[in-house]
Amino acid sequence: MIAVESLKVEFGVKPLFQDASFVVNDRDRIALVGKNGAGKSTLLKILCGMQKPTSGVVSIPADTTIGYLPQVMVLQDDTTVREEARKAFADLTQQKERLDTMQRQLAERTDYESVEYTALVDRFTQEHDRYMMMGAGNYEAELERTLIGLGFLREDLDRPTSEFSGGWRMRIELAKILLRRPDVLLLDEPTNHLDIESIQWMEQFLATSPGAVILVSHDRAFINNVTNRTIEISCGQIVDYKVKYDEFVVLRAERREQQLRAYENQQKEIADIKDFIERFRYKPTKAVQVQSRIKQLAKIVPIEIDEVDRSAMHLKFPPCLRSGDFPVICEDVRKDYGHHTVFDEVSLTIRRGEKVAFVGKNGEGKSTLVKCIMGEIPFEGQLKIGHNVQIGYFAQNQAQLLDENLTVYDT
């Protein structure tokens, strides 16, 4: 379906990756793995035609359709959830408009015995058959199933998209891509804004999808449940493993161990040859053998060992004043948005040193409760921040708060 040959991508003088060659078949489920910045998103953009490689060829049949979900996208605000999702069926909608036009023409005409009327009836019949073959009979039901599977309530479907957070609007875009049923799905971090139930639904959806899937995700369980092949981008190289992620981890370790043993044997061989050359370089009786060893040494191709990515984040929090025993105390906290009660009678106490997780479905109020604690939004009830408490807050929309004119260092 997709053939990649000798692909190379450079940013500056250092290649992001090079000599990448692989084939994507019809039913492949591929996990694209590697550390952040290795080139996973770049490779997806190249496969969908949004970016050009430095060199190499990507061959895709002309009739192959590709659906691409990027990490970040621009979303519209002037439609309802249902209307936005219907855009996935643009071809069906256009066909329905053509049928409606022909139906009006048939209703307005009275020349039932004419050749033109008969031709219009025949054309209407053909176009209607084509419309039904395109899936007209169930696309509204499929639209609802997909949106509800991704966590929307039925009453949400006629609400404006502007009322939803970025995470929920990203789900709408994901629904549109899934509803189009492309031959190849390219998904860049599709689970970032999904709750557990929606992830499970998506796993089942992808399992029955007839096309190929290439995805990037840091959710190891999701990768293992969905994919059957792993392509790793590491240290500028791409290695294709025809196994699930857990098996890939084992095979990668075995591969490196084999390379290490072969490298050590080769180094011993090189050392022996060099030792022979040095010992007998100036003996005329060994001249032929020395020249033979020199030629042998020149023909040796050095064995390379896959580099192990040992980069990791090491954080050291600066010392701060000792806080009170109870950094956060909530008593009967309630939050409403209009007539909708997000939560009520929330009472909790967080003790100093505790590590607390707020869990629940999207829309249940996790981020809202955090905003209440931060004092960003009004609420009812009592919420106290303890003595000497300093709060570091990383918001869900933190990226939107960055000054894009500053460098990473300046930020």
pLDDT by residue (tens digit) across 88-146?
A: 888 777 888 888 999 999 999 888 889 989 999 998 898 888 777 666 667 888 899 99
Give the pLDDT of residue 231: 96
The pLDDT of residue 227 is 95
pLDDT for 320:
84
- Mean pLDDT to the nearest integer, 174-200: 88
The DSSP call for residue 317 is P
Classify residue 133 by burial, with Cβ atoms within 10 Å: 0-12, 13-18, 19+: exposed
Three-point CA angle 261, 267, 268, nearest 5°: 90
Give the separation between CA 31 and CA 224, rounded to whole angstroms. Answer: 9
Of the two residues 306 and 353, the one the predictor is more confident about is: 353
What is the domain partition of the chain in residue ranges?
A: 247-299, 328-401
Mean pLDDT on 305-326: 80
Tokens 């219009």 sit on residue: 120
Mean pLDDT across the chain: 88
What's the pLDDT band for 14 if we cut at 50, 70, 90?
A: confident
What per-residue confidence (pLDDT) applies to 112? Answer: 87
169 close to 79: Cβ distance less than 8 angstroms: no
Examine the pLDDT at 40 and tell me if it is beyond 80: yes
pLDDT digits 0-9 by tens, 268-292: 999 999 999 999 988 988 899 999 9
Q: How far apart are CA 171 and CA 177, in angstroms?
A: 10
pLDDT at residue 75, as a whole number: 64
pLDDT exceeds cutoff 90 at 213: yes
CB under 8 Å to 194, separation ≥6 — which residues? 150, 151, 171, 202, 362
Which fold is adopted by the domain 328-401? Rossmann fold (3.40.50)
**Tokens standing for residue 131:** 């419309």
- The one-letter amino acid code at 320 reads C
Q: How many helices (H) and strands (E) does the chain have?
A: 11, 12
Residues 17-34 have pLDDT tens digits of 889 999 999 899 999 998
Look at residues 89, 181, 87, 84 and name the one whose alpha carbon lies nearest to residue 131.
89
Query: pLDDT digits over 228-260, tens only?
Result: 999 999 878 899 999 999 999 999 889 889 989
Burial 98-122 (b: 16+ CB within 10 A, else e): bbeebeeeeeeeeeeeeeeeeebee
pLDDT at 166 over 80: no
Q: What percent of the chain has pLDDT over 70?
A: 96
Strand partners of residue 160: 80
- The pLDDT assigned to 15 comes to 85
Mean pLDDT highest for which of 7-16, 208-217, 400-409? 208-217
pLDDT, position 385: 95
Is the pLDDT at 380 greater than 70? The verdict is: yes
- Residue 301 CA: distances (Å) to CA of 17, 97, 263, 278, 347: 21, 66, 11, 21, 68
Instruction: Provide the whole-model pTM.
Output: 0.71
Tell me, rounded to whole angstroms, the distance of Cα 179 from its chain centroid.
17
Residue 73 in this model has a pLDDT that exceeds 70: no
Task: Name, in order, each residue with C-beta under 8 angstroms of 299's C-beta and a sequence gap of 6 or more.
Answer: none
| Residue 61 burial (CB count, 10 A) | 9
∠ CA 72-78-84, nearest 5°, is 65
Whether 223 contacts 245, CB under 8 Å:
yes
Residue 347 CB-half CA count within 13 A: 3
Dist. CA 234–CA 388, nearest whole Å: 45
Ramachandran region, residue 375 (left: φ > 0; alpha: ψ -120 to 50; beta: rest):
left
Average pLDDT over residues 175-194: 89
| 224 band by pLDDT with thresholds 50, 70 and 90 | very high
Reported confidence tier of residue 311, pLDDT bands at 50, 70, 90? low
Between these two residues, 277 and 75, which has the higher pLDDT value? Answer: 277
> Please, what is the angle between helix 115-133 and helix 90-108, to 10°?
160
Residue 288 confidence (pLDDT): 92
Q: Which of the two residues, 180 and 231, has the higher pLDDT score? A: 231
Burial label for 226, CB within 10 Å (0-12, 13-18, 19+), is: buried
